[in-house]
Amino acid sequence: MGKRITVGIFILSLLAPIILTDPYHRHLMVLFCIFAVLAISLDITMGYLGELPLGHAAFFGLGAYASALLALKLNLSFWLALPLSGIFTGMIGILIGIPSFRLKGPYFAIVTLGFAQIVHLIVNNWVSFTRGPMGITKIPAPRITIPYIIDITFKSEFSYYYICLAMLIFSIYITKRLINCKTGRAILAIRENENLALSIGVQSYFYKLIAFGLGSALAGMAGSFYAHYFRVISPDLVGVYYLIGALIMVMVGGIGSISGVILGAFIFTILPETLRVLESVRLIVFAVVLLISITFLPAGVIRGIESLYFKLASIKKL
């Protein structure tokens, strides 16, 4: 997409909360970063491995709960709870992947959805541990304290935005490094032609688990950021809204494209806010958006923008 555009967008993202000082706008920026990480995490399995994990966003909610419980029950700081919840959801992802990847396509999709429902049931009903429908409150905000030198608590939208942005940049970096190495190429190969990949020595089952585990770990860390920002979480986080939301981000934005899914996260963040009046029918609106997008821009909005750009560029040449 051009190095200059990338640098421009990076500078813009650094300046955004300085340009837009309204707390509400900054709040949306935080949400956007968290959802962008979630979208990237889903795209690893959907875009690069080529499977449809309907239940993927359950790892998002699971990570939120893991991080909250680590912070509250073991008194861990956010900076420890974050990677630990990532490792936790990554391992759960691999455990769920082991039976799920015996299947493909729609069967794989439904099995992952089933696991997501199981996670939701556990979170909702294990009241003694997760407080069930009452949710978890008073989740501590991230804090850095070095006596006499620093004492920052990341409570405001402004400060939280920058740690979320760091996470987003980290996620983009990881994804790019994945694609440009042996592991990422193997994953793409499995998507394109699993038998051919097997015939040249790719251990497909192993790489499917790696892709899925990495995606679930990233989703879990996005969930951790969510938990320590809102500092209140409920079983809804493991619910249908986020399952569908994640899918919308990837499919509407552009499957298999980092800028595409980030654009999808942007749309998903902005959409409910611009359609405040339709709050009660949000899921229906999502369904309509999804249908329109699949019908007219099946490769995602980003590809529509790219082809428009190329068309304009070629018209300019005439």
Partner 1 sequence: MSHTPPILETNKITRYFGGLKALNNVTFSLFPGEILSVIGPNGAGKTTLLNVLTGFLKPQQGSIYYRQEEITELKPYSIASKGLLRTFQQNSLFVNLTVFQNVLIGCHCKMNKNSFFNSFLNGNSFRKEESRFQFEAFAILKKLDMEDQATSLAANLPYGDQRKLGIAIALAANPEILMLDEPVCGMNPDESKRMMNTINELRESGITILLVEHDMKVVMGISDRIVVLNQGEKIAEGTPQEISKNTVVVSVYLGDSSFVKS
> Least Å distance between CB 201 and partner 1?
4
Q: Site for partner 1 (CB under 8 A): how many residues? A: 25
For partner 1, which is the closer residue by CB, 192 or 273? 192
Which candidate, 33, 89, 103, 80, places its Cα nearest to that of 60? 89
> Least Å distance between CB 44 and partner 1?
12
Residues 55-84 that bind partner 1 (CB under 8 A): none
Which pair of structure tokens corresponds to residue 92?
Answer: 């759960």
Which candidate, 227, 225, 228, places its Cα nearest to that of 236? 227
Q: What is the C-alpha separation between 178 and 153, in angstroms, rounded?
A: 33
Q: Helix (H, G, I), strand (E, B), or coil: what is residue 131?
A: coil
Task: Tell how far CA 29 is from the center of its chain.
Answer: 15
- Match 């709870």 to its residue by tokens: 81
Q: Residue 150 carries which DSSP code?
A: E
For partner 1, which is the closer residue by CB, 17 or 254? 254
Phi, psi of 124 (to 5 degrees): -75, -25
For partner 1, which is the closer residue by CB, 8 or 298? 298
Phi, psi of 153 (to 5 degrees): -110, 125
> Least Å distance between CB 193 and partner 1?
5
> Least Å distance between CB 256 and partner 1?
9
With a CB cutoff of 8 Å and minimum separation 6, the contacts of 298 are: none
Q: Helix (H, G, I), strand (E, B), or coil: what is residue 195?
A: helix
Beta strands 150-153 and 143-146: pairing type?
antiparallel
Instruction: Kindly state whether residue 37 participates in binding partner 1, applying the rule CB under 8 A.
Output: no
For partner 1, which is the closer residue by CB, 119 or 188? 188
Tell me the per-residue interface mask from 205 to 244 with partner 1, x by CB under 8 A, - otherwise. -----x----------------------------------
Residue choice 203, 278, 310, 312 for contact with partner 1 (CB under 8 A): 203
Residue choice 204, 230, 231, 272 for contact with partner 1 (CB under 8 A): 204
Phi, psi of 145 (to 5 degrees): -130, 120
> Least Å distance between CB 42 and partner 1?
19
Q: What is the C-alpha separation between 255 and 241, in angstroms, rounded?
A: 19
For partner 1, which is the closer residue by CB, 17 or 256? 256
> Least Å distance between CB 200 and partner 1?
5
- Half-sphere exposure (Cβ direction) of 136: Cα atoms closer than 13 Å: 31
Phi, psi of 193 (to 5 degrees): -165, 90
> Least Å distance between CB 225 and partner 1?
20
Q: Helix (H, G, I), strand (E, B), or coil: what is residue 233?
A: strand
Residues 139-198 that bind partner 1 (CB under 8 A): 174, 177-178, 180-186, 188-189, 192-193, 195-198
For partner 1, which is the closer residue by CB, 24 or 173? 173
Q: What is the CA radius of gyration of the chain?
A: 20
> Least Å distance between CB 191 and partner 1?
8
What residue ranges bind partner 1 (CB under 8 A)?
A: 174, 177-178, 180-186, 188-189, 192-193, 195-204, 210
